[in-house]
Amino acid sequence: MLYGVQDPGGIINVVTKKPQLTSAHSISAFGTSFGGGGEQIDSTGPLGDSGLAYRFIADKQNYDYWRNFGSIDQSVIAPSLAWYGDDTTVSAAYVHMEYSVPFDRGTQINPRTGKVLDIPRNRRLDEPFNVTTGRSDALDLRMEHRFNDTWSIRTGYGYSRNYYNDYQSRYMSANYTTGVVARRGDATRDAVQVAHTATVNTLGKLYWGDTLHEVLIGADYMKNERDLGDLIRNTQRADFNYNSPVYGNAALPSTVSAANSDQSDHLRTHAFFVQDSIHLGEKWILQGGLRYDAFDEITGKGRPFVVGADVKDSKVVPRVGLVYMLQPDWSLYTSYTESFRPNTSIATPIGDLPPEEGKAYEFGTKFENDSITATVALFNINKKNVQTSETCGTETCTRVSGEVRSRGLEADVTGKINEYWSVTGSYAYTDTEVLKDPILEGQPLDGVSKHTAALYLTRDFGHVGIGDLRAGAGARYASRWGVNDGTGVEYYLPSSKVADAFVSYKMKFENRDITLQLNLKNMFDERYYVSSSGLGSPAIVIGEPRQLIGRVKLDF
């Protein structure tokens, strides 16, 4: 009930490490087998004895990209303050980031074979100038106040601004007999996304007779504006061969497209919500809520500017849930919820994009004690007006599907088996289908594996030698998943099994803690695929190969 329509822009909550009233300081560094590494400083503690605390984090990373060229360069500065009173907590956090990262669209599917290109996985299909550079700033203000034992209030405001430029040599098509690729030089210059969010909610605990009611009343507001400046579109050139690539022949994109420049998507939302959790005796909790969501959105592009979509809508969405406590640490639950959110896109819309609406049913059981948390749930979700895309000439257009469905089972467990062993495990069965659509009807949703599973075990060996030793290992599995080319042709990516491991050793040095850690990712060097994007020739993002990361941390 709290977040609803804000999903497209998100609630800004960038600082997870909060200021503490106990002094703690650390410096750390890491190196990777890809080449390069990074450093971090983290310091927190009280300012005086009035309840005011600070935290300061500085992080710098510079390491080689795992494919045949590129590097990641990122720096972060994050100061924050918090005041902890008897009944009131106030916090302010700021994050500044500067970054330069590869704009890598991955590999491609050969439509003749239905499989990804048979080339080395580290071989890029673009150019060294495929880079995104930018800077971002985010501010987060929060206040919580407890009026008495019955009522409390929470308020928050968030602001973020992201400015970036990117350049790319975009894969357009290929001759799959010769391997010759037609690419187009594209770029986005002076892109800015600014978001404001605000929320306030009041929580009260009331007794009506002998019945406890936990009442939540609140409101949200969000304004999200995305504006792209120059959109650069060079002409296509067939000057690259993925079997024997030669880089550096493509010119840096420079031709501004007036028809595609000044793309914008301006979205505003506001909401009011109320929720009541009714404790019916010691075993039952009945929850009900209503949320009113409203939004207005305008999109467009071009010089002169042409409006693409101008949409306003609102809806009241309900939520109902029921919990039965079998034991103090074991419960059964069921719920019904509805969702409502605007569809946002800077691509050319095929008509106005009506908001996405959904209905979800869930039934499950949860066990939680001091050692173990475990959940098993069955779910069914139906959505209509789900945003999708299709190819319009050489550009991508946006439209909505009539209806899609997702249903299945989720199970997870995490916690300590005994004083030495801890476990994290999960399994999900997800069956998806497009129920109504002129092109995609009957096909599964893109990027969704029917079966996923993960299991990780950690062993605490206790004191060994001069320090404490811990080690762990595990693996995750995903069955095959599909991607559509926008015309109704479905391609499938193979299943994957990826294993990771770590070992850490914590020891004392002049009464200070030093932690040494090694992480081995993808230890068996599995070739796997993460996601897809684009149409016609869908781009496939490749998972990282085997990587060894060494870390050292000094706490003082």
Give the model confidence (pLDDT) of 464-517 as tens digits. 999 999 999 999 999 999 998 878 889 999 999 999 999 999 999 888 999 999
Q: CA dist 522 to 3, 387, 458, 497, 498, Å?
A: 35, 33, 17, 9, 5
pLDDT above 80: residue 129 = yes
Burial of 292 (0-12, 13-18, 19+ CB in 10 A): middle
End-to-end alpha carbon distance in the chain: 42
Beta strand pairing call for 395-416 and 348-349: parallel
The length of the chain is 556
Q: 451-464 and 88-102: which strand pairing?
A: unpaired
CB contact set of 36 (below 8 Å; sequence gap of 6+): 61, 62, 63, 64, 71, 72
Is 26 within 8 Å of 555 (Cβ atoms)?
yes
What is the C-alpha separation between 200 and 13, in angstroms, rounded?
15
CA separation for the pair 91, 351 (Å, rounded): 44
pLDDT of residue 14: 38
Condensed to tens digits (0 to 9), the pLDDT of residues 310-358 reads 899 999 999 999 999 999 999 999 999 999 988 876 666 556 678 999 9
Cα 542 to Cα 544: distance, rounded to the nearest angstrom? 7
Beta partners for residue 83, in sequence order: 52, 90
Unique residue bearing structure tokens 């007999």: 177
The chain-wide mean pLDDT, for the chain, equals: 93
Neighbours of 348 (CB within 10 A): 21
Please identify which residue in the block is written with the tokens 């007006």: 385
Which are the contacts of 210, defined by CB distance < 8 A and separation ≥ 6?
A: none
Has residue 392 got a pLDDT over 70? no
Residues 55-66 have pLDDT tens digits of 999 999 999 999
* Each residue's pLDDT tens digit, 193-236: 999 999 999 999 999 999 999 999 999 999 999 999 999 999 99
Of 232, 225, 228, 334, whose CA–CA distance to 287 is shortest?
Answer: 334
Phi/psi for 110 (5° steps) reads -85, 110
440 in Cβ contact with 484 (< 8 Å): yes
Under the banding of pLDDT at 50, 70 and 90, the label for residue 92 is: very high
- Partners of residue 204 on adjacent β-strands: 151, 215
| Residue 396 pLDDT level (bands cut at 50, 70, 90) | low
Q: Give the integer Cα–Cα distance in Å for 9 and 48.
A: 38
DSSP class of residue 524?
T
382, 405 contact by CB (below 8 A): yes
Which backbone phi and psi does 509 adopt, to 5 degrees? -140, 110
Classify strands 490-493 and 451-464 as parallel, antiparallel or unpaired: unpaired
Residue type, 67: R
Burial (CB < 10 A; 0-12, 13-18, 19+), residue 247, is middle
**Separation between Cα atoms, residue 383 and residue 339, nearest integer Å:** 9
How many alpha carbons fall within 13 Å on the CB side of residue 154? 9
pLDDT in tens, 284-301: 999 999 999 999 999 999
Residue located via tokens 């880089």: 247
Which residue type sits at 144?
E
Half-sphere exposure of 98 (CA within 13 A, CB side): 5
